[in-house]
Chain A
Amino acid sequence: MTGAPAVTRPETGAQGEAGFGIYLHWPFCRSKCPYCDFNSHVREAVDQDRWRAALLADLAHAAEKSGPREVTSVFFGGGTPSLMPPETVAALIEKIDALWGLAPGTEITLEANPTSAEAESFAGFARAGVNRLSLGVQALGDEALKFLGRQHTAAEALGALELARAAFPRISFDLIYARPGQSLAAWQAELAEALALGPEHISLYQLTIEEGTVFHGAWRRGELRLPEEEAAAALFEATAGQLEDAGLPAYEISNHARPGAQCRHNLTYWRYGDYVGVGPGAHGRLTFGGTKQATREHRAPEAWLDLVERQGHGWRQVEAVTPEQRLAEMVMMGLRLTEGISRAALARELQGAPEELLPVERLQRLSGEGYLEVDETGLRATAAGRQRLDALLGYLLA
């Protein structure tokens, strides 16, 4: 793919198209972070040729299944995709263009760690066609970074951000908050510092203890304590207010953007569009044979590689998604978005209206309590509802 990087602005209204995204998973990291339960692995060496060939083959297989579709976004996630050789990224983007066709300006995101080593590849990624970089900054203080097991300092992260700005038209970065011992005031100061960097998009995640992580063990032993519900709620509410004031309102639970700067790719997930998942452990939702199918690739990197080389693709499981499951998935993803779920999208996916598909008395109770809005355009969770979304979903769907 060639051409000058152009900023695309996805449609944002409730009528926004779900789109069709391609996700590629690069499972390798330099080191494993103590909070992360993603499918990531530390390896001494990676056979780059074999990996590139396997990912290309897997893409070709996905295209065969999907048939011709207009790709609205590409996303390199991981793991640490900024450890990929830029030539591999280039080859994969070219392949996607060849298989489906890539319109100029299509959003192509790559996740990167803000270390100086990785920053050296930024220009190469941009040349390959990446036009949006998502930086895992995570914190703006060195102590916090150390606690989170990150390999970079705050200064390094700011340097990487500078370089990224020069290379990519669109930038986002992540921060992790509600860390043990972090006061509301300290977080607000850190956030103000982050906002002073002028991001157009920012992802703010409250620290969660996931099973199988180093933090989980420490938490179970009582060595690590997260803020209680009240404190976590206060942090969440203050964050929403501060970002709103800064002109980056939440468009999803943890994602904030200037109008028009939302991540096109992630919107596809939340709007329950189709997406291809390529690479170890990648999940997809792909309509073929007349039905939406849930696809899952083999999780272990080496086994995935072997599988692709043997059978030509990495699919481990393919399952038709039943209407009931589609309803649950669409509602639980869609209500994460501030825009909610449009009646049109529900009708398209499930041939019904909210009042037909969901228990009316529960919709009414949630509305009465101020957690949900149901109107002529669709249904959406209010700020209060989004803050309690897991319980809301349990009430509505379980």
Chain B
Amino acid sequence: MTDLSHIRNFAIIAHIDHGKSTLADRLIQLCGGLSDREMKEQVLDSMELERERGITIKAQTVRLSFTAQDGETYELNLIDTPGHVDFSYEVSRSLAACEGSLLLVDASQGVEAQTLANVYLAIDNDHEIIPVLNKVDLPAAEPERVKEQIEEVIGIDASDALEISAKTGKGVAEVLEALVKRLPPPKGDAAAPLKAMLVDSWYDSYLGVIALVRVIDGKLTPGMKIRMMGSGATHLVDKVGAFTPKMVNLKELGPGELGFINASIKSVADCNVGDTITDERRLADKPLPGFKPSVPVVFCGLFPVDAADYEDLRDSLSKLALNDSSFQYEAESSAALGFGFRCGFLGLLHLEIVQERLEREFDLDLVTTAPSVVYKIHMTNGQMIELHNPADMPDVVKIDHIEEPWIKATILVPDEFLGPILKLCEDRRGEQVDLTYAGSRAMLVYRLPLNEVVFDFYDRLKSVSRGYASFDYQIEEYRESELVKVSILVNQEPVDSLAIIVHRGQAETRGRMLCERLKDLIPRQLFKIAIQAAIGGKVIARETISALRKDVTAKCYGGDVSRKRKLLEKQKAGKKRMRNIGNVEIPQSAFLAALKMSDN
């Protein structure tokens, strides 16, 4: 157990690509946490996907042992935070486990929107913030301009910002020195009853559930019976330890320390991020503030392309959920897509990550329906329903009014792209809150309905700004809105998986677009096919696929019989991938493409 005065706990706040992982690697290297041989590039981003996308999904910690200029050896705990707003609650808990942060900004790029949200979270957590300018050796680096921007946009003093190059190692030792000198040590009472915060948890196939904790008061030791104050679950602690970044077992974790525990916990569902861990025999008087269970805000259906993969999908989802307590799923069946699951996510990135992991790690081909937000449907009988799936929308005559979630979005963009971005926000029913400039960059704050954002907003934003805009959002409130369900009908039969809920003003445009796309995607058949978009019984758009006019093999004689019959047999096998809607056999690939296009 290290004395409190010799502990510093810190996080690194940075935008994607601004060099967080590289800096972490250098810090580990300088403190001898790993030999050069053991040093893999970007040690902390362990998942293949994280490495590829350069983002952190699961928080991890590393304990560094650093001998400062004062001759004393300090325990520095770096907690790596997820860099995306979808995980803002996780970020806030990670930050709550530290006393300070390094604000790492690319000296050639400046502050980005995501950095902004996280740095405000750090300020909310009373962090001491040390600005660090990275990549100062690049020709495009403008440290003075970026310092100004930090002061103007974030409002913190950047005069003593460190200037480093994580890549070459320049200035990295000064970062460690600054952590010791400028961050406050944690506070805590070793003699008090145990009070520790659960920062994160994940499933390890050898050890079971590993929980990452920050001890506030008391001590955590192997053999202890602990209680999760939020869920009430109790567990016996097998091991405690820290990551250096190798997993090292310790005798105990004391106040101010960060580390892991391995108890006989079966599922991560028992380990809610932010929950307070205490000693079953000597309970803390009250839990730590700020605990809230994670609530999914974006939902979509996930269906196997091949119905035979349904069980595999179920297994894979349960494995993913083992590691991700914020991910929810339940069985769903669709006439168009067969059996699948309705899944809830913290946001769009979370959705994308889960989808990619399923396809990559579990080798599944998936159909994803258009993402939907959670609507609050107020019924005429006074009941309120939370609607996750447009297909489940109740009869309109029973609905009194509908509310939809609104977000506050922050967009940072070079001012030359401001025009098209303002137009995009206005088109999406946005309300401007603020528009400020820092140098040639504009910071735009808008209130927007989340359902406008889940529908291709991010892609549009990137395309109109040629990739320069950065974007972040927080859910703010629910507001009443004139929302309608647009159904897509094939020969008068609704295609459940294509139903969308949109603002009345956009219903016709969106309905027409879907009809036109389906018209292009569904091959001509023996029979005429009517494709309609409708609100309730009212058709708002219509397309017709005329019957095919000629489709016949010119020559078929005695020598062709076997081959031709085998073709029919193959066609029959292929029909397993067809869906019959309104008496029309529609290749599942058509739905897939329609859904794909609707999020582009």
Query: Could you tell me which A residues sit within 8 Å of B by CB distance?
Result: 21, 23, 205-206, 208, 229-230, 232-233, 236, 253-254, 266, 268-269, 275, 277, 281-285, 294, 296, 325, 328-329, 332-333, 336, 365-366, 369, 371, 386-395, 397-398
Contacts and interface: CB of A to CB of B under 8 A. Distances in A.
B558 A23 contact: yes
Contact of A208 (B524, B555, B561): B555
A388 B558 contact: no
A231 to B, nearest CB: 9
B221 interface: no
Interface string B43-63: 000000000000000000000
A388 B565 contact: no
A285 B527 CA distance: 34
Contacts of A393: 568
B558 A233 contact: no
Interface in B570-591: 571-572, 574-575, 583
Given A277-B559, A281-B559, A329-B561, A394 B571 contact: yes
Per DSSP, chain A at the interface is helix
B571 A269 contact: no
Interface stretch (B288-296, B454-462, B496-504, B543-551): B543-551
B383 interface: no
B206 interface: no
Contacts, number: 100
Given A282-B559, A294-B562, A332-B565, A206 B554 contact: yes
A395 B554 CA distance: 19
B525 interface: yes
B158 to A, nearest CB: 61
A387 B524 CA distance: 14
B556 interface: yes
B554 A233 contact: no
Contacts of A285: 558, 561
B557 A269 contact: yes
The 3 tightest CB contacts between A and B, nearest first, are A233-B549, A233-B550, A398-B572
Contacts of A208: 553-555
A262 to B, nearest CB: 14
Q: How large is the interface on B (under 10, 10 to 19, 20 to 34, 35 or more residues)?
A: 20 to 34
Contacts of A394: 568, 571
B19 to A, nearest CB: 49
Contacts of B548: 229, 388, 391
B552 interface: yes
B565 A283 contact: no
A388 B554 contact: no
Nearest to A319: B562
A176 B556 CA distance: 15
Contacts of A366: 526
A205 B554 contact: yes
A208 B555 CA distance: 9
A294 B574 CA distance: 25
B554 to A, nearest CB: 4
A365 B583 contact: yes
Given A253-B554, A397-B568, 8 more contacts: A21-B558, A205-B554, A254-B554, A284-B558, A328-B565, A365-B527, A391-B548, A395-B526
Nearest to B561: A329
Contact of A398 (B524, B553, B558, B568): B568
A315 B549 CA distance: 40
B558 A387 contact: no
B564 interface: yes
28 contacts: A23-B559, A208-B553, A208-B554, A208-B555, A229-B550, A232-B550, A233-B550, A253-B556, A254-B555, A266-B557, A268-B558, A269-B561, A275-B558, A277-B559, A281-B559, A283-B558, A283-B559, A328-B565, A329-B561, A332-B565, A332-B568, A366-B526, A369-B526, A387-B550, A388-B548, A397-B572, A398-B568, A398-B571
A269 B562 CA distance: 12
A336 B555 CA distance: 10
Contacts of B562: 283, 294, 296
A366 B108 CA distance: 68
Contact of B551 (A277, A333, A391): A391
A389 B558 contact: no
B549 A390 contact: no
A388 B568 contact: no
Contact of A369 (B527, B552, B555, B574): B527
A315 to B, nearest CB: 14
Contact of A391 (B525, B554, B555, B575): B525
Contacts of A392: 526
A290 to B, nearest CB: 20
